[in-house]
Amino acid sequence: MEKENDIQQPPQPAEAAASRYCDYTVLTSRGIHRFVKCRKGDRWVVLKGLKPEYREKLQCVALLKKEYKTAHALDHAGLVKYQALVDDDRYGPCIELECVDGRSLADYLREAHTTEEKLAVVQELADVLSYVHCRGVVHLGLKPSNIYITKQGNHVKLSDFRIVAADSLKEPVGVLKYMAPEVKDGTMTVDARADIYSLGMLLRDFALPADYAPVADKCCSFGRNERYMDAASVVEALYSDRSHSGSKKTVGIVAAIAVVIGLLAFVFFTGRGSHSDSANPASVTSVADSAQSPSESPAGPSTTAAEAPARTENAAPVAVADKFGFLEQLKPALYRDLDKLFQPCLDRKAEGADEAEMQQAKARLQGRIKRYYKGLVGTLGRLDSEQRAAFDKTFADYVARKKAEL
């Protein structure tokens, strides 16, 4: 336990904190905590304090202080800001939290949303968890009531860190289902995989199509060594092959898939499928990241002599015009898809998002571009090195054009 003089020194004097709040409204109570919405100057904040029966217990006060110390050091657009530690004259020691203009994930899931919209929320949540885990913090309290979805843009805001598992055991049984087995029984030191278990339980709440179920099941494995190692791996699995039959789902729009199917038929029936070179997968990172300006050369597989496509002995030469004609068929759908991928980031810019928020939005965009590219390339199938290089240049040039708008 921390020394008392280490845990009872809020950043500002108690008397100053007591006089700065007004218009109190008691919100929900969870576990040992009570939440109160109040006004501070010209804005609303939320105070997270202790229920009356816990305010005199030094261990509970210590946990509240420790939660503040842990969460205040984190800075991510997807985290509710832990703004101050105060001693309020009504509610005792409290954490002052950012007041989110939105609703809980539980309320969001009662609304009608497409699979794509739900996956966007899952990805943002996974991004937040990746950030937290990289800084050595485990949330331990993932559940619908601790995750908020903003009214503007449906962005994730995660709150209410659990510092020890024992506190969580005061939750109702319906909430305990989100807790990993090792957190419930305290048999071993918890790590990030405890949050992966909770993320899997949340995935089940999203009511995604059945072919996403194996991802949630793996997250929720009883043995933590059988779960995904990190949140990024969960997102990768959601956007990769999910069915046992091996069918592929791309992140792109249905219209693009239809165009690609037509392209495949065109490729095979015109003889381009006869090339034995199936083109090594291009570096997704290089294709997306190199598109910083239209003047930069596109990334992708280099076309050195060693990598030149070898024809089968009986393959007939392919006319240059036909060889690259597939790009003209692909471009309209490709551009529409990329426009849609960029739109949320452009909306954030139009809303006046600050530099930190834009950096987070751009990071999410980058991930979506990479996954879209990877899925599209997988669907295209056989392209020789020259066709692949032409496709990569078309893709990179348009990404560069869109990035210039940001």
pLDDT band of 381, cuts 50, 70, 90: low
Third-level CATH fold of 102-238: Transferase(Phosphotransferase); domain 1 (1.10.510)
pTM of the predicted model over 0.75: no
Per-residue pLDDT at 48:
94
pLDDT, tens only, 120-173: 999 999 999 999 998 888 998 899 989 999 999 899 999 988 764 334 444 444
Alpha helices in 46-103 (DSSP H): 58-72
Domain ranges of the chain: 4-98, 102-238, 254-404
Q: What contacts 251, CB < 8 A, 6 or more positions away? A: 239, 368, 371, 372, 375
User: How far is residue 213's CA from residue 219's CA, in Å, rounded to a whole number?
Assistant: 10
Whether residue 5 is predicted with pLDDT greater than 90 in this model: the reply is no
pLDDT band of 38, cuts 50, 70, 90: very high
Helix (H, G, I), strand (E, B) or coil at 97: strand
pLDDT, tens only, 209-225: 999 999 999 999 999 89
pLDDT, tens only, 72-131: 999 999 999 999 999 998 999 999 999 999 999 999 999 999 999 999 999 999 999 999
User: How far is residue 179's CA from residue 197's CA, in Å, rounded to a whole number?
Assistant: 7
**81-94 burial string, b = 16+ CB within 10 Å, else e?**
bbbbbbbbeebbbb
Give the mean pLDDT of 34-43. 93
Per-residue pLDDT at 31:
79
Per-residue pLDDT at 13:
43
Ramachandran assignment for 276, one of left (phi > 0), alpha (psi -120 to 50 degrees), beta (any other): alpha
Give the mean pLDDT of 256-274. 43
Third-level CATH fold of 4-98: Phosphorylase Kinase; domain 1 (3.30.200)
Alpha helices in 135-222 (DSSP H): 165-168, 173-176, 181-185, 192-205, 213-219
pLDDT above 90 covers what percent of the chain? 40
pLDDT band of 374, cuts 50, 70, 90: confident
Per-residue pLDDT at 299:
35
The more confident residue out of 18 and 22 is 22
Nearest to 68 by CA among 93, 34, 38, 43: 93
The more confident residue out of 378 and 338 is 338
Poorest-pLDDT segment among 59-63, 208-212, 325-329, 390-394: 325-329
